[in-house]
Amino acid sequence: KNQVEQSPQSLIILEGKNCTLQCNYTVSPFSNLRWYKQDTGRGPVSLTIMTFSENTKSNGRYTATLDADTKQSSLHITASQLSDSASYICVVSPNTNAGKSTFGDGTTLTVKP
């Protein structure tokens, strides 16, 4: 069964600090992995997308890494801001049938002043 596990479940950090969120998956055959940011009561917004051949991708203060061999990804947030407080969701898609993407449960990040 395809699974996506994210850790930690929740995280509290001080403004200005860095943090790293983890995503482990068992989806096979693998097509791509995406990280989304979901503000409370809103729909998720895409941060990064990576395919098998990509091992790092940045979007401003967000940097995602992918190790397709160990089936692990991380999202590193640099110099956190209060607006980074949100849920971060890892989504892994197989290379067959887009409707069968697997969503992680998300990591809830709280940035405190």
Binder among 22, 51, 59, 85 for other proteins (CB under 8 A)? 51
Cα–Cα distance, 43 to 109 (Å, whole number) = 16
Half-sphere exposure of 5 (CA within 13 A, CB side): 5
Binding to other proteins by residue 45, rule CB under 8 A?
Answer: yes
Nearest residue (CB) to other proteins, 14 versus 98: 98
Output 48-52 pairs: Cβ under 8 A, ≥24 positions apart.
Answer: 48/75
Using CB under 8 A as the binding rule, whether residue 67 contacts other proteins is answered as: no
Under the criterion CB under 8 A, does residue 32 sit at the interface with other proteins?
yes
Whole-angstrom distance, CA of residue 43 vs CA of residue 78: 23
Minimum distance of other proteins from residue 48's CB (angstroms): 10
Binding of residue 13 to other proteins (CB under 8 A): no
Q: What are phi and psi of 91, to 5 degrees?
A: -125, 125
- For position 105 contacting other proteins by CB under 8 A, the verdict is yes
State the DSSP code for 80: -
Q: Which residues bind other proteins (CB under 8 A)?
A: 4, 9, 31-32, 34, 41-46, 49, 51, 89, 91, 93-94, 97-101, 103-106
